[in-house]
Amino acid sequence: MMHEIWGDRNSLFENYIFTQALVLLGNELSGHGIGAKVDAKLYGKDVIEFKSILRQLYKAPLSQPLLLAPGGFFDQQWYSQLLETSGHGVVNALSHHVYNLGGGNDVHLIRKILDPKYLDRAEDTYRDMQLTIQRHGTWASAWVSESGGVFNNGGQLVSNTFINSIWYLDQLGMASKYNTKVFCRQTLIGGNYGLLDTQTFLPNPDYYSALLWHRLMGNGVLSVDINAPRQIRAYAHCRKQQQGITILLINLSNTTGYNVTLQNDINVSLGKRPDLEKRSSFTHRLRKAVSWLGRKPASNTRRREEYHLTAKDGDLQSKTMLLNGAPLELGDAGSIPAMDPVLVAVDLPVQLAPTSIAFVVLPKFEAKACS
């Protein structure tokens, strides 16, 4: 999965050179539509005509823009009909929008974000999108062309605060599992769901979450088989452009912390923090089909990298995010703060605090799928 963020290690913005243009035909016209709708067969015929125009304008195949469609809310029957009508190679990216938390005036947004059953509903959409492409349009890739979680400009003191990063990173992990190639965030600036504050242009917590994802999570997605409380979310990727793997852990519980122990056979055992509630153990396994993804961490690697994200003063609606206990704030010249990990011995458990997020990097972990 690919996800780009507007920043690098030194400045808030980075100049990207886009070598491929994109065009999108229509907006939210699929299924029942938003305000208006178009029949899938008619839309498919229009897409064919639009593709013909693009081919006339751009004679060289490599110069032709990618055609994205339909840029609406996923309806499996409608999307399947679109691919069948438009035919092979016409739609390059099958795109959909994700606003699964509801409207900005919903008073239950935080409860929804911390409810694993509610979050799991989105998995059906990603899974069905993948199946639709496999059955009707293997030439196309799945894109989330717009996603803010909460429609109507996002939720005030939700979409622009720490709590939203739990939803955001969970969505990135979930979308990756089902071969989503691009995830476009609504928006960089604007509304409550902007990555930057609309008044000060300072980064909201989701900016830093996206930046860590961008730096640490590679394109290779590893399967995670979890036998643990539903409040624990886990995703694993090949490390970004380096050897090793990165594990994303999310704790939805606001009362219970967990010790996550990485074992040599790639088992990950979970136990509730002894200072919070009685002990209980569980097991995670990273699998590739029925075989292990890799062997134990190399013997000469004794430390791993950990990036723990929490809310300032434990306030889930804080606009200040802490990285390993230190606030993430721009420098005097507007530079991105250092986002350094803590180094921890590989044989010690990962201490996952209540309602927190952790990126755990195993630099020398030998995963065959990442070689």
Q: Which residues are catalytic?
A: 28, 146
Amino acid residing at 95: S
Amino acid residing at 35: G
Residue 269, strand partner residues:
261, 283
271: burial class by Cβ within 10 Å (0-12, 13-18, 19+)? Answer: middle
331: burial class by Cβ within 10 Å (0-12, 13-18, 19+)? Answer: exposed
317, 360, 128, 166 alpha-carbon torsion, rounded to 10°:
0
Residue 94, strand partner residues:
69, 142
Cβ–Cβ under 8 Å, residues 29 and 69:
no
Distance CA 40, CA 82 (A): 5
For residue 114, CA distances in Å to 109, 163, 302 come to: 9, 9, 34
Backbone angles phi, psi at 100, to 5 degrees: -80, -5
Backbone angles phi, psi at 86, to 5 degrees: -75, -35
Amino acid residing at 342: V
For residue 281, CA distances in Å to 3, 193, 261, 270, 352 come to: 34, 37, 10, 5, 14
Cβ–Cβ under 8 Å, residues 205 and 163:
no
Q: How are strands ordered across the β-sheet holding 93-98? A: 22-24, 66-72, 93-98, 141-147, 180-185
Backbone angles phi, psi at 23, to 5 degrees: -135, 140
Distance CA 140, CA 319 (A): 38
